[in-house]
A and B are shown apart, each in its own frame.
Chain A
Amino acid sequence: MKHYISYAALGAALMAQPVFAQDVTLQFWDNQQTESGLSDVQKAAVDRFMAENPDIAIEVTTIPYPEYQQRLLTAVQGGNAPDIATLDQIWLGAFAEAKAVVDLSDRAAEAGLTRDQFFGGAWDSAVYEDALYGMPFNVDVWQFSFFNQDLLDAAGVSSADLSTFEGLRAAAEKMTGDGKFGVGLFGHAGEDTVAVMNSFIFSNGGEVLASDGSCALNQPEAVEALAYVQDLAQFAPNGILSASSGDMRELFLNGSLAIEFWPALEQPTLKSSEINWGFVNGTAPEGKTPVGTFGGWNLAMFESSEHKDAAWRFMQFLVSEEVNGDVVDLIPANTNAAETFLAANREGPDQIMAHLNNAKPRPLSARYLEIADVQMRLYQDVLSGTNAQEAADTACGEIDAIN
């Protein structure tokens, strides 16, 4: 009987605790890009936000990358968009043009969030027609050239050679043969192909689109870079037109590939492997600095959200210096958070920061996906031996027609 009385007293005491009414429930969608176990850390951050903001509840939905774009698109079309979602940098233009996401320019200015707190390229990727439609969330850069030190040593190649077009070609030639391949180029129809090929073009001083929006892929700098990659492809594994960065990773990890092209995101995988690895920041002609292609995600607030003020509070929390590093699996877009994150999680943090600060975003166009589709075809044509100038002229005709 005594026990029952104790339990009843305990129950009454618990019921007497103040209950915080969660007036607002925000839907937050994010994509699961890696298997880093990030969701636990993310969950802790979300719990912290809810503890600090008892009037707001957050429901996080994590969707695998291959399904993510389609799920978001269907949700927006069906009027069921979440309050906040991460958007790939290359999608933001389309979502902004469709008026599906909120212009955050005034809110950001009011909150003192400015471009200099983030990587410039990441901030620019959230700007569409002079308005800010997203908060830079996480970033990375294509590509770092990860190399197998043992294969380099065996061929008498110095890692410094890989930073130049000429050095990379010579090194790739030396390391190709006996079942080994010099360079992990890939050419399947995917964004990783576009990002890597762009970086060769950027590093040679070329552009995808000129400042007036016209196609610049048939300009001399871009064509020269395309011809260079076409020549380099002879030192890549057989069958690159159907290969992705993931396929090259498999070859790199089994020791049959000397150099693979990946963002810094690759480091955790390499750290857990037995490969004796190192990396350099992409590659460029002698005397030029390698320029990478930005990749990453922005946080966007949807027009259909009924809780925009609460959503903005959560967005500010996620991109803050204290939190940004805990909730991303790439590199935090907040530069101060990135420095802390890189020092704790990546080899060569200064080197990575330098490459990030020098990277360029892909074209900021509402029709980016159509442009990228033409680019993929161009790169496949070039990698399969079509004359680079002719292929680029055809591609530019199609891109200019789109624009």
Chain B
Amino acid sequence: MTYKDRWLAWLFLAPTLVLLAVFLYYPMIGTFVESFYSTSFINPNPEFVGFEVYRKIIASREFSEVLWNSVLWTVGAVILQNILGFSTAMLLNQGLPGQGLLRALFLLPFILPGVVTAILWRFMYDPQLGLVNSLVVRLSDAENAVAWLASADTAMIAVIFTAVWKGFPFSMLIYLAALQSVDREQLEAATIDGAGPFRKLIDVIIPSVSSVILVNIVLTLILTFNYFDIIWIMTRGGPQDSTHIFPTIIYETGFGQFRFGEAATYGVFSILVLSVLVALYAIVQRTTSNRRATS
């Protein structure tokens, strides 16, 4: 790249960099700074308190609950979403009749806005009127319907299921594209060698798409960790804080209770986790590119 080309590249990048600096990095740095101050609506003049807000938050029962919930929510939704997405992609890759229609049907949850999905599932889980319970009661001879969103034992499972329902088509699309690039000759050779469908999956298909799987898992980790709509609409973090995750606690602390300093501190924890995930994504991407370059 010549000197002139380099200048031109920076020139084209400049608008994006300015926008990122103003709308992303500046607020992010502001959040870091605010987390060292005690600021709230009733105490609008910031008072520097160092790590005091961090100490207070880490010592609170809310923090450990939020941390545990975030891990459960993110890992649970990502694993299930990827398994279901991969399985569906495998199914759609078989050249079944009506494949176009099936693909459109599977995509439907993905194109629904998160708020609509949450309202829909909230109604589905309703203990008195919901479809889920009418099925459970009919199929299991249960006397009482399960109050999915009203029990600390089941609320997280219910919201994860909703997130998987909404998110699996995203993974499915990516896996479907990857599966279509699996070498047909290798599959035919495996068939000739007597490999059944399971062996072909383990020895041919998964190794061929492993880099895509890794990238997809890291991407969905980032997206799920940061997801707000479904939990906020369905449970508002309850009951008994059993579904509070970082985005919901930040919103509630900042906009529900006017405690900006504490909301900023939760925001910093959230940024740290996301930074790790983004770094992981970058590492996976680089490893994948290197592997491609050497093969």
Contacts and interface: CB of A to CB of B under 8 A. Distances in A.
Nearest to B259: A370
A94 B259 CA distance: 11
Nearest to B251: A70
Interface string B39-66: 0011110000000000000000000000
Given A98-B41, A239-B147, A380 B238 contact: yes
Interface string B114-133: 00000000000011100000
Interface of B is mostly: loop
18 contacts: A70-B255, A77-B44, A94-B258, A188-B238, A237-B127, A237-B128, A238-B150, A240-B150, A241-B147, A242-B149, A242-B150, A242-B155, A242-B235, A366-B42, A369-B256, A370-B257, A373-B256, A380-B240
A238 B147 contact: yes
B152 interface: yes
A256 B128 contact: yes
A395 to B, nearest CB: 11
Contacts of A188: 236, 238-239
7 tightest CB-CB pairs across the interface, nearest first?
Answer: A239-B147, A239-B150, A239-B127, A241-B239, A242-B150, A241-B150, A97-B42
Interface of A is mostly: helix
B237 interface: yes
Nearest to B56: A401
B27 to A, nearest CB: 15
A377 B241 contact: yes
A187 interface: yes
Interface of A: 69-70, 73, 76-77, 94, 97-98, 187-189, 237-243, 251, 256, 366-367, 369-370, 373, 377, 380-381, 384
Interface of B: 41-44, 126-128, 144-145, 147-152, 155, 235-241, 255-259
A233 to B, nearest CB: 11
Contacts of A77: 41, 44
A242 B41 contact: no
Contacts of B239: 187-189, 241-242, 380, 384
Contacts of B149: 239, 242
Contacts, number: 81
A125 B206 CA distance: 66
Given A381-B240, A384-B151, A238 B127 contact: yes
A242 B44 CA distance: 34
Given A97-B42, A98-B42, A242 B237 contact: no
Nearest to A372: B257
Contacts of B257: 369-370, 373
A242 B238 contact: yes
Nearest to B241: A377
Contacts of B256: 69, 369, 373
B44 A98 contact: yes
Contacts of B235: 242
Given A369-B257, A384-B151, A238 B238 contact: no
A256 B241 CA distance: 29
A367 B42 contact: yes
Contacts of A94: 41-42, 258
Given A187-B239, A188-B239, A239-B151, 11 more contacts: A76-B41, A94-B41, A189-B237, A238-B147, A241-B151, A241-B239, A256-B128, A373-B256, A380-B240, A384-B152, A384-B240
